[in-house]
Structure 1
């Protein structure tokens, strides 16, 4: 594959991911969860809050509507382009979670939603959060535990194998259950953890199931025929109103 072909494929991958994220973000539970993360940050007008791994920028726009200076940080240039197109008034910057473009003790709030499971050393991102937060500043970490995703299926063993195989391909798939320890180890105070379970049963989530099953198949954990049969069953469930996916979401908050 030449560079032009790689660029086209990356663009398609980004578009596919955006479609999944958009479908999930528009669910009522997702909107409530974002609102809860803002509440835990105690957003105050004119303060600066950074949204790390901001993706297409929805949270940045929503926090800015509260009167704060919300800054979206994202390492993926394709995602940044999407964010800037969708929210042209937003402040978006390209950077990694482990190297934020802020001075020491210069921001009042830090939010990272579905980010730390992508990092091999998520503790380094927590240390960076501690560096940029001013004394008393708030941090909120939001994310699922990829080993704990529940999908209704007649073949529980195969479903478990698919979910765990997909989880094992991530850098830190069980980051959600580790948030409390990470924050304590990072020197944060007043650490608390909530768990919210998001339930999905609409056909728009079939793309998520494909993004779980296809990598599990590619890794060799399940066969092609097994993956196809499993996805066919899930599509049938979606068509008849029997689809059910439950995802526990960890929400951890603390102060610097």
Structure 2
């Protein structure tokens, strides 16, 4: 069964985060970025692979369709339940990035997509990645720098405040810019870093923009009128086809010696 054939439920019945992730993951840019990780991981038939922070399992499905023995692990029971509903044939497990339920040296590929910014201790998670990888195994990390969102608006000062306030709510908002050094510190070799920029100009990401403004209001970084005015401007831009959001995504890869 391909991703396009996955059983569907009405969008209104899905968790808002799952709806947002589905929309983002369906974009051509996201698909190309996932495919690039499979290249860097040397994905091939028969190799064991793990996707940490797998969400509902889209990458696990794509790696499985390439013949890998793919496992998906996520801390969210709801994500795993939804993934199992969509693809009962996948090996999806609830688990912790710090303590993976895998033997030492049991996988040849380790993938984590937009996960490490949510971790209090990325170095500990990389130590666990090093443990489960075989010698010569590959790792690929994807993530956005939460202070680097680029949003066009009529009020750039308020926009900067909103972006920074949202970043301040993330456990490790600058984890992606640290990927290279974190991998080197963990003992990985052949470390490389690439960047891709996701650009959104329609209403797809409007819920995310509204969400970061609401988060800034909740944190006391701006008042209700400022938040409402900023959200209304972004909604008007989306309706007119004038919204502009750019999110640089960093892709780091390395080899376990």
**TM-score normalized with structure 1 length:** 0.94
Tell me what 1:64 maps to. 64
**Separation in 1, partners of 2:113, 2:164:** 21
Q: Contact 1:14–1:78 at 8 Å: present in 2 too?
A: no
Residues of 1 paired with 2:211 and 2:34: CA distance? 23
1:249 is the counterpart of 2:249 = yes
Following superposition, the deviation at residue 14 of structure 1 comes to 7.0
Distance 2:59 2:195 in 1: 20
Q: CA separation in 1, counterparts of 2:131 and 2:97?
A: 12
Aligned to 1:133: 133
1:137 alignment partner, SS class: strand
Q: Aligned with 2:15: secondary structure?
A: helix
The aligned residue for residue 233 of structure 2 is 233
1:231 and 1:211 map into 2 onto residues whose CA distance is 9
Deviation at 1:35, TM superposition (A): 0.6
Tell me what 1:46 maps to.
46
Alignment partners' CA distance in 1, 2:230 and 2:199: 20
Q: Secondary structure at the match of 2:102?
A: coil
**How far apart in 1 are the matches of 2:220 and 2:203?**
27
Instruction: State the Cα deviation string for residues 166-202 of structure 1 (Å, max 9, x = none).
Output: 0010100011100001100000000000011110111
The equivalences for 1:30-179 within 5 A come to: 30-179=30-179
1:186-197 to structure 2, matched below 5 A, reads 186-197=186-197
Offset, 1:103: 0.7
Q: Alpha-carbon deviation of 1:213? A: 1.3
Unpaired segments ≥5 residues, structure 1: 1-11
Secondary structure at the counterpart of residue 187 of structure 1:
coil
- Do the aligned residues in 2 keep the contact of 1:202 with 1:243 (CA within 8 Å)? yes
- For residue 254 of structure 1, report the CA deviation from its aligned partner: 0.1
2 CA distance for matches of 1:42 and 1:86?
A: 26
Superposed displacement of residue 211, structure 1: 2.1
Is the partner of 1:46 in helix, strand or coil?
A: coil
Moved over 4 A (4+): none
Name the counterpart of 1:211.
211
CA contact (8 A) 1:50 1:107 kept: yes
Measured in 2, the distance between the counterparts of 1:70 and 1:82 equals: 17
Q: Secondary structure at the match of 1:146?
A: coil
Aligned alpha-carbon RMSD (Å): 1.2
Determine the C-alpha separation between the residues in 1 that align with 2:159 and 2:79: 31
Indicate the SS of the match to 1:148.
coil
The equivalent of 2:8 in structure 1 is none
How far apart, CA to CA, are the structure 1 residues paired with 2:13 and 2:121? 25
